[in-house]
Amino acid sequence: MNPEPVVATDVSTVTPTSSGAELPGSLTSGTGEPQPASTGSARSFGIRGLARWEVALFATFVAVFIVGRVLSPEFLTNYNFFNMGLSNGELAIMALPMTLIIVTGEIDLSVSSTLGLASSLLGLLWMHGWPMPAVIVVVLICGAFLGAFNGFLVTRVGLPSIAVTIGTMLLYAGIAEILLGSNIVSNFPATYTNLGVYGVPGIGLSYSTVIFFVLAIIFGVVLHFTPFGRSLFAMGANQEAAIFSGLRVKRTKMILYIVSGVVCSGAGILYTFRLSTAEYDNGTGLVLSVVAIVLLGGVSIFGGKGSMVGVVFAVLIYSGLLDALLLTGFPQQASGIVIGGLLLLSVLVPSVPEFRARFRAGRHRLRKQQVPEAAIVHSGSVARPLEASDSGNEVGRGGPSI
Amino acid sequence: MSSQDTALIQASGSPQRLVDTVFRLREYGIIVVLIVFIAVTTGIQPRFLGQQNIKFVLLNATIYALLALGETMVVVSRQMDLSVGSVLGLSAYVSSDLFGQVHGIPIPVVFLVGIGIGLACGVVNGAITAFARVPGLVVTLATLYIIRGVDISIIGGGEVVASSLPAHFSAIGSDSVVGVPYITICVAIIIAIGTYSLRSFRAGRELYAIGSNPEAARLVGIPIARRVFSAYAISGAIAGLAGVIWASFYGTVDSTAGTGYELTVVTAVVVGGVAIFGGRGSAAGAAFGALLLSTIATALYALGVSPFWDPAFDGLLLVLAITLDRGIALRLAEVMRKRTFRHEP
């Protein structure tokens, strides 16, 4: 048994150097320092790479709030915090189950339609005179079924989740339309619609915000501190391996989709009460914002990587930024530029070191080869950086990230 | 069932031919569904095959089918382009606004501007996806927001109204020969060329290779980055072209033009038999998928069913299509296994 640990430590010490196999490239720069850093942020699944991303998010968060304060004195007021939470609460809540699902390497694009369907059903049942507590229970159960349907198609039938949930997104939105048609229900009792007007007593934040923070803590603990949560990372990182190590992959994913359905219906209830309006197209288009937030939070679209802290910061950045833009009179519809830019940066920045390493490796390889023909072709070509990156591609030491 | 399998095996010489046959059947399946659907609808409501109605369906399908061509190229290589709706919107506004800005501007120039805008967007998508090796889904999700935002800031609160467009331009969407709009014929030719290129040209074949196994494609020396880049660039250019056609068809262009098109296009592509994880399917199939979706939308209206039912139908169709594909894939794998077993006991 003695050699075993030795081998294990051997592997763990060797891995960083072998993953940074472009080391020859660092000879030209004279220092080995950038290389480990680049491999760390681009490839490491460990705590270091993640921690760095969260620090960056925290810095962005602070920057957004400082800039917001500078631009408008109303930014850092209780009233504004209430509004900020009110308008983004449902979005933020939907990002939580989405995080778990994306960590397992799947996706759920039907969240906004689930919200819309919950809203429609709420309106329909209320219109028919059901008592409100019963309506809420039925809506949540319905949400569980919607999630279970997604989960069934993904886990039992074995269909790709992205296609399934694009389908159910259309389907659920369609059912919402069928249920409510062009009716608009808005005669909800004030006890319920008040949650769009008043905050939680003593805290001052909106109910949806408080619910978000409570759920975020629960989801965060489940994701990071329970065997169930850790198994989600295992599935996302390597599904085959997860199956062979005895994880109940199908059942786990099924549970996640059901949770997502229930939570999104809950968000639908909050949304309906906040606007005190049930319409079939409530929440249309929110899904892309939810996905954007989760990815901005550092969760990998391929699964296996991400943290709840990152997502919470992403939510804060998103709502802070939108609100700051609103207060400064930036056309609200165009705020997509900023959100999209942020999303783009969030995927581009981590890939820069890898790209640079790949580029340098390609150039180094070309120089080392010293094949006259090749040199002429490459130096004469307009698309030289492209060639270099392609040849880096063929050498292919970095993990293929397609 | 097993006698059917044997028949299938005997009918087709090699495993590759068998696979080809099955997936061609899958494409013909869409056409059969389309014909059955039209027949049933016409049986109930004969006016469905009226000239005006056919023209409307075709024009609607034209834009989706064109977008589906670009999307097919991208999806086949295991990527996705979610920005097509925004690109269409931007191109539609900028190109149709040119008529107000520059008097007497020739229509071909307007088309070139539209295609150029689309190409620029596609180049950005492609460059980021291919060379920074970032998943295209995320990149185009971001550019979906950014391009729409740019569109909105350019337009402000304004819009292009139909009356400001020259008659020749609006005629593109309305002139027709024996009930089929000219523009539909042009787009059909473009799709035919696209399908042929994807199937028969080296670059096209390589897109399929990348989609079915990126790692293997890299090892055999396919320039993945360059191919994916081109696919995005072409998809963008096509979305730009679709934008100009959109403008000529609808006449009134505001900042919501093309909103949500990306998901309809992806639906059409998948319903048309293109595998969402790449490597399989054709642009012609995707075009028929688009035609089927437009036909359903109009048929529901013709049958007096509330248009509210339309998205639910699309969603159901998509779920059915991928379930069917999955079934076919499993069945095919089973047949192939039996076959190998028979030949090499």
Q: Provide the token pair at A181.
A: 């048609």
Query: Between the CA atoms of A50, A51, A56 and A57, what dihedral angle is there, to the nearest 10 degrees?
Result: 80
Mean pLDDT for chain A overall: 78
Please say whether the dihedral angle defined by the alpha carbons of residues B196, B202, B207 and B213, taken in this order, is positive or negative: positive
**Is A88:A315 a contact under the CB 8 Å cutoff?**
yes
**Is B232:B128 a contact under the CB 8 Å cutoff?**
no
Measured between CB atoms, does A5 come within 8 Å of chain B? Answer: no
Over residues A183-201, the mean pLDDT reads 85
Residue A329, pLDDT > 70, answer yes
Does residue B106 form part of some domain? yes
**Is B301:B99 a contact under the CB 8 Å cutoff?**
no
Report chain B (345 residues): mean pLDDT per 10 consecutive residues. 50 65 78 88 83 84 94 94 94 90 86 96 94 86 90 82 82 77 90 93 93 92 93 96 91 85 90 87 92 87 78 86 84 78 57
d(CA A381, CA A297): 40
When comparing pLDDT for A110 and A400, which is higher? A110
Task: Give Cβ neighbours of residue B244 (< 8 Å, ≥ 6 apart).
Answer: B91, B92, B95, B96, B110, B111, B114, B115
Total residue count of chain A as it appears in this document: 402
Which pTM does this prediction carry? 0.80
What 3 state SS string does chain B have?
Answer: CHHHHHHHHHHCCCHHHHHHHHHHHHHHHHHHHHHHHHHHHHHHCHHHHCHHHHHHHHHHHHHHHHHHHHHHHHHHCCCCCCCHHHHHHHHHHHHHHHHHHCCCCCHHHHHHHHHHHHHHHHHHHHHHHHHCCCCHHHHHHHHHHHHHHHHHHHHCCCCECHHHCCHHHHHCCCCEECCEEHHHHHHHHHHHHHHHHHHHCHHHHHHHHHHHCHHHHHHCCCCHHHHHHHHHHHHHHHHHHHHHHHHHHHCCECCCCCCCHHHHHHHHHHHCCCCCCCCCCCHHHHHHHHHHHHHHHHHHHHCCCCHHHHHHHHHHHHHHHHHHHHHHHHHHHHHHHHHHHHHCC
Question: What does the pLDDT read at residue B163?
Answer: 78
Three-class DSSP category at A20: coil
CB-facing half-sphere around the CA of B330: CA atoms within 13 A: 9
The domain spanning residue B288 has which CATH number? 1.10.3470
Q: Provide the token pair at A220.
A: 């965060």
Does residue B50 form part of some domain? yes
pLDDT tier, A96 (very low <50, low <70, confident <90, very high otherwise): very high
Question: What chain A residue is nearest to B130 in terms of C-alpha separation?
Answer: A402
Burial class (CB in 10 A: 0-12, 13-18, 19+), A384: middle
**Contact assignment for B326 to A386 by CB distance below 8 Å:** no
**Contact assignment for B133 to A401 by CB distance below 8 Å:** yes
- Write out chain B residues lying below 8 Å of A347, CB-based: 134-135, 138-139, 142
d(CA B88, CA A5): 59
**Contact assignment for B315 to A339 by CB distance below 8 Å:** no
Digit-coded pLDDT (tens) for A252-291: 999 999 999 999 999 999 999 998 888 887 877 788 889 8
Does residue B3 form part of some domain? no
- Write out chain B residues lying below 8 Å of A175, CB-based: 312
**Is A94:A267 a contact under the CB 8 Å cutoff?**
yes
Cβ under 8 Å to B: A residues 343-382: 343-344, 347-348, 351-352, 354-355
Does residue B263 form part of some domain? yes
Task: Give Cβ neighbours of residue A255 (< 8 Å, ≥ 6 apart).
Answer: A151
**Contact assignment for A174 to B134 by CB distance below 8 Å:** no
Question: What does the pLDDT read at residue B17?
Answer: 74
- Count structural domains, chain B: 1
Cβ under 8 Å to B: A residues 309-338: 331, 333-338
Of the residues B86, B134, B220, the best mutation for testing chain A's interface (the one with the most A CB atoms within 10 Å of its CB) is B134
Digit-coded pLDDT (tens) for A338-377: 878 888 887 887 777 777 777 777 766 666 554 444 333 3
How open is the CA angle A196-A197-A202, to the nearest 5 degrees?
Answer: 105
Question: What does the pLDDT read at residue B14?
Answer: 65
Question: What chain A residue is nearest to B223 in terms of C-alpha separation?
Answer: A390
Measured between CB atoms, does A63 come within 8 Å of chain B? Answer: no
Cβ under 8 Å to B: A residues 144-183: 153, 157-160, 162-164, 166-175, 177-178, 181-182
Comparing CB atoms, the residue among A157, A334, A401 nearest residue B152 is A334
Range of the domain at B129: 26-343
> So where are chain A's domains?
54-330
Question: What does the pLDDT read at residue A54?
Answer: 85
Digit-coded pLDDT (tens) for A106-147: 999 999 999 999 999 999 999 998 999 999 999 999 999 999
Question: Looking at this predicted complex, what is its ipTM?
Answer: 0.82
- Write out chain B residues lying below 8 Å of A400, CB-based: 214-215, 218
Cα-to-chain-centroid distance, residue A157: 25
Of the residues A165, A170, A239, the best mutation for testing chain B's interface (the one with the most B CB atoms within 10 Å of its CB) is A170
d(CA A367, CA A205): 61
**Contact assignment for A177 to B309 by CB distance below 8 Å:** yes
Comparing CB atoms, the residue among B132, B221, B322 nearest residue A348 is B132
Q: Provide the token pair at B139.
A: 């990149």
CATH number of A54-330: 1.10.3470
Measured between CB atoms, does A141 come within 8 Å of chain B? Answer: no
How many other β-carbons are positioned within 10 Å of the β-carbon of residue A17? 12
Which residues on adjacent β-strands are paired with residue B160? B253
**Contact assignment for B214 to A402 by CB distance below 8 Å:** yes
Q: Which of A330, A261, A289 is nearest to A121 (CA)?
A: A261
